[in-house]
Structure 1
């Protein structure tokens, strides 16, 4: 059994989407109210600022409850095994208390439950690693911790836990490759391949609302690591940091030239360009954003090693060029008919409202909206959403 009510989470996603469409005048007030009645949920609602405050307050409270007995019991933190059992026991207690509060207070990502999930994971992982031999590599510690993190991620579906999990995974790969004699030479290629495989696997996972945010985060991280692993600046400077201290002193703080430099210069520009190409072809905003940022980083890398212009001139010229390209791109994509906000090839600069698939595939939604439409004596032609074009999140069409 998971921490949250999955049905309520699906209902919450559907209701939020219906409210967005209501603000866009695609659903009437009666239809939106019918959706609320058809998809009830009872989570406690808060705002973003209150969530941050509750998160910080809960973290401080949990740490205070931990430090009081930990410092009061003589020698508790000095004994490795005793400290491990105490930390894991405290993590279990935090998890049980968090589960009780989530069920009793109907919490869902309002700060308190996020803090309990994070602190429980931290204490369990720390206590578990204390039981492991002290002569293990960082990669082995990460590998042993990954199953625990994946279990907690499955239970909570929390974005912070997802970030910790993917960071632990990449640390395992990074440190594990460096254990080999040719590790530094193959490290960029391994990181690129691993990131591409991870992105492909995540894309194949069914996007239920319970795991939508963690999976989106993992996609972002995988694509960022992929583009960074092929960037000439990242590869060269990281290679310099991994050199022995004596070699770094001889180089006087300048990272030496790397092998296959021409290939990495090519990848520095080719990977962001591929992101952009796929982003425009698939109408994927994530790929477009990362492709633009990657090309900016590529130009900055070129400026860093091949000084084309003074820094102040380069920044000014680069800013003007980016503004010009943005304006030119908007003018190029805009339809010749001049319809405000609508672009050729399915692009738009309207706010992007991504809709959950449940809104379309769940018969209950259609029944609820159709019933509301019938109550207003609308023609019985199926669900009437007010008419219009839709192009959010890579989807397009009319309804």
Structure 2
């Protein structure tokens, strides 16, 4: 699908942010960062956070007033058909103004374009709920997906992947909850769908969807773990079964969920270390903490204060041991910043720009930059360069 924002500027903005991050880590000087901005320019209008919030609120109020004003000229807005007609007209107007402002004012997630996008999608959904009031819940979710997915592909709004993720799991849960076997297999379905979404998200290397991809990775990793967590499965099983008890009853396949509860966090940490990726590593650490809480919730005999003290001591000892162990690189992992490879990567990008080449859509975070017939990636130039 054709993208609404200038793709070259989006890629350049990503490079500028990468350079700014390296500058804060003292991997680049201010002059070198300025050179990157000069070689990779972008002219998007991107106000500060508070201005963006103000513009968003102003646009929401403006769209509301526009709907009220337009309703004066639409016949019979009190009926479902009349209000649906009004909503579709407003939807067309919102998207027309959104496209015009992106082209003329060079907006890029500046608050106004976000508000117009949300208003347009909401207006497109209103006739669905008004004209098909007897439709099942999963049908509403499916129609919402048909509207939100194209909007996300075009505008790469960060709320889009969150809504899409929620709608997919809502459809799955609604369909499976209708059958006893579906209720029993729901945790496994959650894990399978999460794994599929994570795999699909990682296949996308387009810088245009870089942040959307990160959101999907985080959500899928979290739900994959929660789908196999013993506490979550046991408590939700009691809730779904309508059991009003203080202690949830034991669940089927309990040993398997014991294994998932402690194996999945370790898997995340190993993946994060092997791939040098922060997202699975951090989620793995958080998952370990929740796994410890799961164990304490059912099996621990210590008081809360004793547990906190013990956990704190273990974390400090483990942190010191790991830092000392990784002070010299082991297995390609070190606690030192990888200055050399980062600088080589950026220097190659600047050299390519001087030679007239441009990075592939993967950018700095993709599978590698390509110039001519050679390839190289984040670890520096390889033999095929």
Cα distance in 1 for residues equivalent to 2:232 and 2:277:
26
Q: Does the C-alpha gap of structure 1 residues 30 and 165 become closer, same or farther in structure 2, counting only changes over 3 Å?
A: same
TM-score by length of 2: 0.82
- Name structure 1 gaps, 5 residues minimum: 336-341, 370-393
Q: Does the C-alpha gap of structure 1 residues 187 and 354 become closer, same or farther in structure 2, counting only changes over 3 Å?
A: farther
Q: Give the structure 2 partner of residue 203 of structure 1.
A: 202
Q: Offset at 1:233?
A: 1.1
Q: Give the structure 1 partner of residue 365 of structure 2.
A: none
Q: Give the structure 1 partner of residue 230 of structure 2.
A: 232
**1:301 counterpart = 2:269:** no
Q: Give the structure 2 partner of residue 386 of structure 1.
A: none
> Once structures 1 and 2 are overlaid, which stretch shifts more, 81-90 or 107-116?
81-90
Q: Give the structure 2 partner of residue 158 of structure 1.
A: 157
Cα distance in 2 for residues equivalent to 1:351 and 1:118:
41
TM-score by length of 1: 0.79
- Name structure 2 gaps, 5 residues minimum: 358-376
Q: Give the structure 2 partner of residue 325 of structure 1.
A: 318
Q: Give the structure 2 partner of residue 396 of structure 1.
A: 379
Q: Does the C-alpha gap of structure 1 residues 354 and 243 become closer, same or farther in structure 2, counting only changes over 3 Å?
A: farther
Q: Does the C-alpha gap of structure 1 residues 72 and 182 become closer, same or farther in structure 2, counting only changes over 3 Å?
A: farther
Cα distance in 2 for residues equivalent to 1:360 and 1:177:
51
Q: Secondary structure at the match of 1:259?
A: coil
Listed one character per residue, the Cα deviations across residues 193-230 of structure 1 (whole Å, up to 9, x for unaligned) are 1111111111112x222111111111111111100000
Aligned pairs, how many? 360
Q: Offset at 1:26?
A: 5.3
Cα distance in 1 for residues equivalent to 2:179 and 2:348:
51
Q: Secondary structure at the match of 2:214?
A: helix
Contact 2:195 2:224 in 1 (8 A): yes
Q: Does the C-alpha gap of structure 1 residues 396 and 240 become closer, same or farther in structure 2, counting only changes over 3 Å?
A: same
Listed one character per residue, the Cα deviations across residues 349-396 of structure 1 (whole Å, up to 9, x for unaligned) are 6599989x8985686424389xxxxxxxxxxxxxxxxxxxxxxxx943
Listed one character per residue, the Cα deviations across residues 50-74 of structure 1 (whole Å, up to 9, x for unaligned) are 2233223333433344356569989
Q: Secondary structure at the match of 2:46?
A: coil
> Once structures 1 and 2 are overlaid, which stretch shifts more, 290-299 or 108-117?
108-117
Note the aligned Cα RMSD (angstroms): 3.2
Cα distance in 1 for residues equivalent to 2:11 and 2:356:
16
Listed one character per residue, the Cα deviations across residues 100-142 of structure 1 (whole Å, up to 9, x for unaligned) are 22222111122222222222222222333433x3233222221
Higher relative contact order (CA 8 A, sep 6+): 1
Cα distance in 1 for residues equivalent to 2:96 and 2:212:
23
Contact 1:35 1:368 in 2 (8 A): no
Cα distance in 1 for residues equivalent to 2:67 and 2:317:
56
Q: Offset at 1:49?
A: 3.0
Say which of 355, 367, 380 aligns to 2:355: 367
